[in-house]
Amino acid sequence: MQLKDLHSFRVAAERGNLHHAADALGVTQPALSKSIQRLETTLGVRLFERTARGVALTAIGQALYARNLGLEQLVDDMRTEVQDMKLGQSGKLRIGTVPAIVESVMTPVFSSFLGAGRSIQFETQVQLSGVLLQQLEAGALDFAIAAVNREVPPALTCTVLGEQESYVVARSGHPFHRRAFTLGDMAAQPWVLPPSSITLRAWVESMFRDAGLEGPTAFLQSDASPAVFAPLVRGTNLLTVMTSDSLGSSMGTGLAALPSPAPVWALEIGLFWRRNAYFSLLMKQFRDQVLEVFDARNLQLNRRRARPSR
């Protein structure tokens, strides 16, 4: 059963005359008759009967006509939806992002897609980088914004967005902000830390190991970003590690990076997608918007980079 035959059938039923219907369709009457015969042969029924004025629907033809109206509307809706997706006016994207850039990058990116007659939806996963890349490779995400390791998985493509700096952070009134301290003093403090498999934790442990010291005690260990526990750090003498984005956001209120000998670590952040994915116009628009917002974020952070808040 061909859609063009169903369309010809509808026009013939509405005109009640094959000659007039053929004119409306821009085809010859024999071509229209052949189209209707093909449809009748496929269904094994008669759809029209001849009258003095032309043709009229049989009972089965009337039932098909009623069904066909809904089918043609569905086809029209599908064409419109596909065209909107082609033009980037509708569609759904599944986005994964590390927690630190939700406020500084993702919020303005998502806001840019609101309004203007668009019908776009986003599903977002906020996880640490390793989990995001696994979900992307498995097909559960369309994009992941995550830390760039030395080797990008073969199934993925990555565009480097820029650097993200991380600091050892304490409340603004912490004693280490008022006096000199050593790495030994830092090791003696209780910390809020991610698991050992996470880059931030590895950095902290290597800092003390390279100095011949034992690593700090993790008063609280969580697979969530340490920034989630900013209120706890703000009200105690706990130390933690936070990114420049988290420290510069509302989560960093009342917190400050410790001065030397506390180090500053830098990690590249990238936008990842599957190498074999169909790259729709909406995906291109999202990628371009992330690049634009991240560039603006980089400019803002560069102004603070030489003098991080103490």
Least confident span in 210-214, 221-225, 258-262 = 221-225
Task: Between 265 and 80, name the one with better pLDDT.
Answer: 265
- Domains by residue range for the chain, with CATH: 3-86 (1.10.10.10), 90-163+268-305 (3.40.190.10), 164-266 (3.40.190.290)
Work out the pLDDT band at 305, boundaries 50, 70, 90: low
Q: What is the pTM of this model?
A: 0.64
Report pLDDT for 81. 54
Report pLDDT for 309. 46
Report pLDDT for 232. 96
**SS3 per residue for the chain:** CCHHHHHHHHHHHHHCCHHHHHHHHCCCHHHHHHHHHHHHHHHCCCCEEECCCCEEECHHHHHHHHHHHHHHHHHHHHHHHHHHHHCCCEEEEEEEECHHHHHHHHHHHHHCCCCCCCEEEEEEEECCHHHHHHHHHCCCCCEEEEECCCCCCCCEEEEEEEEEEEEEEEECCCHHHCCCCCHHHHHCCEEEECCCCCHHHHHHHHHHHHCCCCCCEEEEECCCCHHHHHHHHHCCCCEEEEEHHHHHCHHHCCEEECCCCCCEEEEEEEEEEECCCCCCHHHHHHHHHHHHHHHHHHHHHHHHHCCCCC
- Report the phi/psi class of residue 84: left, alpha or beta, with left for phi > 0 and alpha for psi in -120 to 50: alpha
Distance (Å, rounded) from C-alpha 171 to C-alpha 291?
Answer: 32
pLDDT in tens, 134-181: 999 988 899 999 989 778 888 999 999 998 889 999 999 999 999 999
pLDDT, averaged across the chain: 87
Does 5 have pLDDT greater than 90? no
Work out the pLDDT band at 200, boundaries 50, 70, 90: confident
Does 310 have pLDDT greater than 50? no
Contact 167, 264 (CB under 8 A): yes
Least confident span in 25-39, 114-128, 243-257 = 114-128
Report pLDDT for 88. 52
